[in-house]
Structure 1
Amino acid sequence: MTFYEAAKPYINRKLIDANKAATLNDTQRSFALLEDAHVIGQQSTYFHCLVHYKMLRHGIRQHDLKEAFGQAFRLIGAATKTMLGWVPLGNTGGASVSPFKPMPISAENQAILADIKIRMKRA
């Protein structure tokens, strides 16, 4: 099983929950869930780019120019750097943090990443 296959259900759940939170106008919760999806999926070029695209849309919907421009920059970086392994682990992906800064990973996301590794080994 590839990382993409193992991570997909976790990332999809975070994205679905982020969309629900946005629908309820809970923008802070929505963005926090996108940050979780970023931490979980940043080892996959597809998921890394997808989450930055979702963050870009979030910034545009919130009329947050700093976030929107930051995500446009990060989307280019995700598309060109992820496959080379140039991702700072734990980085939450928002424009308010350096795109190069490794960050601590929450216990919840550590457990998800550990489960992804187990699923990859089983296949």
Structure 2
Amino acid sequence: MRTKLKAAYNLELGEAIRFYKLNEFEDSFHHLERAHILGQSYIIPHTKSHWWMLKVGIKKRNIKEVLGQVTRMIASVIFSRIWVPLGNTGGANVNPMKPMSVPEDLKKILSESET
């Protein structure tokens, strides 16, 4: 993972964890979705974003999210380096195979990490 991409991923994950510790789970999940978009092509960051989404699902007692994140964690280990749906936010509320539009600020970071 290139330096700028890694820094952006770590920033989003850090914000997610900060909000998680404050029991602000909606804000936490928002940053986890952004971290997921940035890290989904890399096994450890991808799986880590799903791990934290699982933790949020447990805290919110959302069984759909919990079950969805368990399956997504397994898939992240298998598929991260093979194929990922660009822009997919990683929550159980979206089809795990569906590409989605990438927010402009993240699009810039992702395109810079390709060069």
- Structure 2 alignment gaps of length 5 or more: none
Tell me which residue corresponds to 1:108: 105
**Alignment length, in residue pairs?**
115
Shift of 1:24: 2.8
Higher radius of gyration, 1 or 2: 1
Cα distance in 2 for residues equivalent to 1:78 and 1:33: 18
Structure 1: segments with no counterpart, 5+ residues: none
Would you say 1:35 and 2:39 are equivalent positions? no
Which of residues 1, 5, 13 is equivalent to 1:7?
A: 5
**Aligned amino acid, residue 17 of structure 1:** E
Q: Return structure 1 stretches of 4+ with deviation > 3 angstroms.
A: none
8 Å CA contact 1:4, 1:44 repeated in 2 = no
Residue 49 of structure 1 contacts residue 75 of structure 1 at CA under 8 Å; is this kept in 2? yes
TM-score, normalised relative to structure 1: 0.86
Q: 1:1-123 to 2 correspondence within 5 Å?
A: 3=1, 5-84=3-82, 86-117=83-114, 121=115
Report how far residue 22 of structure 1 moved.
Answer: 2.1
After TM superposition, the score normalised by the length of structure 2 is: 0.92
**Aligned residues with identical type, % of pairs:** 37
Distance 2:63 2:8 in 1: 29
